[in-house]
Amino acid sequence: MKTLTYKHILPVMVLGLTLSTNSCINDLDTIPLSKDELVSETTFGSDLAPYTGSLAKIYAGFVIGGNSGGDADQDVAGIDGGSQASFLRCTWNMQELTTDEAHCAWNDPGIPDFNNVTWGASNPWIKGSYYRLYYQINVANAFLRETTEDKLRGRGCSDQTINSILSYRAQARFLRALAYAYTLDFYRNVPFVTEEGKIGNVLPEQIMAADLFNYIEKELKECQEGLSEPTVGFSTTYGEANKAAAWSLLSRLYLNAEVYIGQPKYTECIEYCNKVINAGYALGSDYLEIFKADNDHSAEMIFPLRYEGDQTMTWGGMTFLLCGLEPKELMDEINAKDAWQGVRAKSSLLATFEKEKASDQDSRKALLHPELTSSNEIVDPFSFKDNGIPTVKFYNVNKDGSLPPSKEAWVDFPMFRLGEIYLNYAEAVLRGGTGGDKATALKYVNAIRERAYKDKSVAPITQSQLTLDFLLDEKGREFFYEAHRRTDLIRYGKFTGSDYLWPWKGGVAQGTSVKDMYKVFPLPSDDIGSNTNLKQNDGY
């Protein structure tokens, strides 16, 4: 048995599970990683601790790549735990490098494909993301399979222990729904496996997007009853999935429903935005504090991916976002342990800020550093220096300027924060949803802008300025580098085609049209080859 403290919440006892990288045939298998990591009846008993640790393993899989507190003993066999098997690093690359915000100069296999929106079904990052998500689904399935009330009573668990595990089951269902939500956004029609499926070499059936949408929606609505009440700021339950996390994911799911299933659900989006907003979260006074090492105390944070230095060391996750993005000149200020300098902002991100007359008052724009480069443009797509705009988003420094205990990443990644809910509400109102109003939408948008602007008097916009196009730009300014952008551009019909171009879109320096097939990533070619139940997405 190996243990790992996953920040302030749960120790990890490994539930020995692995997922084949050759296919999804083994999605339902539970295979011990070593003789010391046992499963089922030999792992569980009547005490709460093994169940607590096994739940923590599901959380940890979104943060680190393996069972030793980092990328060693990696979860997904055959894929590097710090790169292609890192949930956050894969998600960030797929959501940011493919858009008008970020460009990576590294020539690692698959990275130029993202820069150029020219990927295929053999892209290793697309494959890595796919198998990481299914690993998460698989671990959640195994946990749910082993924690039915009948099994718990058969092991002699007390009523008190069973009640605690019922809450754990709700969290596991949320985390599985979260993983499935990313498969829906990235791949649409995917293999479908739950705890009720047969264990063994069974080829999963493919679920269509509409049915997967309905499943995720149902899971989130049902599991919220067993989740804890929302808590604001740091508490003993900080980082646990609570009711507000489920409401936030429902808000995001409904906002994109017209893309996913062809049905608008903006009224439902507003309903769940209101639930989160009424739970007591607050923006805070300083935008930059959301992205610092002690952001676990932020009143805006709804559900984070949590990092705590040496205990969650990984070459993916926040280590990548600190070292891979940051310019060498600011390495000490950021308190990063290295500066890989691979990622630069595109000139189109700067242009999003410069649409505003008073953009120099926007503290968010100050995170872009054009003064550190000789060219704002990506002139050479493989150059690390003087090419594109050095940009900072995350600081491994506390808000009072003090440093955390080490240069390992202590910054939590904001999976859901109140700012997103405010702008989701505003967009859903503008798209015709009921249960909200434009005056309230304007209030939320201006609250975000006033928090960002040094001179708050120039921040507010008027009702006539609050349009969908304005909101897309405001989302770009507020959420750049937070792994939202691809999904936003697709929802606005600007990701493919020629309506909106950015540098190197389509592999051309000035940008060119790309086919609609790129709105969805392909299923990995090896899974298509091994699972006869799967049909590849159109165009691949």
Q: Helix axis angle, 266-277 relative to 243-255, nearest 10°?
A: 150
CB-based contact 30:39 (threshold 8 Å): yes
Mean pLDDT, range 245-267, rounded to an integer: 98
Please identify, among 431, 452, 483, the residue that sits at the C-terminal boundary of a domain. Answer: 483
- pLDDT at res. 32: 33
Q: Based on the domain organization, do 282 and 314 belong to the same domain?
A: no
The runs of H, that is alpha helices, within 376-502 are 418-430, 438-452, 468-479, 485-491
CB burial readout 351-374, b (16+ within 10 A) else e: ebbeebeebebbebbbbbbbeebe
Please, which residues have CB within 8 angstroms of residue 474's CB and are 6 or more apart in sequence?
A: 423, 445, 448, 449
Q: CATH number for the domain including 139?
A: 1.25.40.390
Determine, yes or no, domain membership for 436: yes
pLDDT score at 77: 79
Q: Which domain holds residue 404?
A: 307-411
- Could you say which of 467, 483, 499 is where a domain stops? 483
**Same-domain check for residues 31 and 67:** yes
Distance (Å, rounded) from C-alpha 299 to C-alpha 83? 31
Q: In one letter, which amino acid is 247?
A: W
260-289 average pLDDT score: 97
Q: Residue 102 and residue 91: Cα distance in Å, rounded? A: 13
Residues 341/330, Cβ–Cβ less than 8 Å: no
List of residues 6+ apart from 540 with CB closer than 8 A: 120, 121, 517, 522, 523
Q: Does residue 325 fall inside a structural domain? A: yes
Please report the pLDDT score of residue 68 as a whole number: 66
**What's the whole-number mean pLDDT along residues 383-397?**
91
Judge whether 529 lies within some domain.
Answer: no
Could you tell me if 203 and 100 lie in one domain? yes
The verdict on residue 79 lying in a domain is yes
pLDDT for the residue numbered 80: 76
Cβ count near 225 (within 10 Å): 10
278 vs 374, more confident: 278
What pLDDT score does 461 carry?
98
Record the tokens describing residue 403, joined without a space: 């440093």
Q: How far apart are CA 273 and CA 267, in angstroms?
A: 10
Q: Within this chain, do residues 430 and 392 fall inside the same structural domain, yes or no?
A: no
| Among 115, 101, 104, 89, residue whose Cα is nearest residue 514 | 115
Weakest-pLDDT range from 192-206, 208-222, 411-425: 192-206
DSSP 8-state code for residue 103: E
Give the DSSP H or E segment for 345: strand 343-345
170 token code pair: 């709700």
Lowest-pLDDT range, 15-29, 114-128, 185-199? 15-29
Does 30 or 431 have the greater pLDDT score? Answer: 431
Does residue 384 or residue 448 have the better pLDDT?
448
Calculate the alpha carbon distances from 459 to 228, 357, 451, 454, 480 in Å.
36, 10, 9, 9, 18
pLDDT category of residue 120 using cuts at 50, 70 and 90 = very high
pLDDT for residue 300 is more than 70: yes
- For the chain, how many structural domains are there in total? 3
13 vs 42, residue with greater confidence = 42
Q: How confident is the model at residue 465 (pLDDT cuts 50, 70, 90)?
A: very high
**Average of per-residue pLDDT across 392-406:** 96
Rg (alpha carbons) of the chain, rounded to whole number = 22
Let me know if residue 499 belongs to a domain: no
CA distance 100 to 111: 15
Q: What is the pLDDT of residues 171-184, one digit of tens each?
A: 999 999 999 999 99
- Among residues of the chain, what percentage have pLDDT more than 90? 81
279 shares its domain with 354: no
Each residue's pLDDT tens digit, 15-68: 333 333 333 334 333 333 333 333 455 578 999 999 999 999 999 999 998 876
Domain check: are 38 and 163 in the same one?
Answer: yes
In this predicted structure, the answer to whether residue 316 has a pLDDT above a threshold of 60 is yes
Residues 446, 398 within the same domain: no
Exposed (0-12), middle (13-18) or buried (19+): which is 538, by Cβ within 10 Å?
A: exposed
Residue 396 lies in a domain: yes
Mean pLDDT of 115-133: 97
**Residue 490, in any domain of the structure:** no
Residues 389, 407 within the same domain = yes
Do the Cβ atoms of 410 and 321 come closer than 8 Å? no
Question: What's the pLDDT score for residue 138?
Answer: 94
| 188 & 126 share domain | yes
Exposure on the CB side of residue 400, measured as CA atoms within 13 A: 3
- Tokens at 176, concatenated: 């599985």
Do 331 and 195 belong together in one domain?
Answer: no
Instruction: Give the separation between CA 342 and CA 320, rounded to whole angstroms.
Output: 10
Whether residue 135 contacts residue 185, with contact meaning beta carbons closer than 8 Å, is answered with no
343: β partners:
104
Token pair 């969805």 is found at 520
Q: Which CATH number do you get for residue 252?
A: 1.25.40.10
* Residue 497, domain member (yes or no): no
The residue to which tokens 């020995």 are assigned? 16
- Say whether both 272 and 381 belong to one domain: no
Q: What is the 3-state secondary structure (H, E, C) of 283-344?
A: CCCCHHHHHCCCHHHCCCEEEEECCCHHHHCCCCHHHHHHHHCCCHHHHHHHCCCCCCCCEE
Q: What are 499-529's pLDDT values in tens digits?
A: 999 999 999 999 999 999 999 999 999 999 9
Same domain, 260 and 404: no
The amino acid at residue 530 is S
Mean pLDDT score across all residues of the chain: 90
Residue 158 pLDDT > 70: yes
Residue 73 has pLDDT above 90, yes or no: no
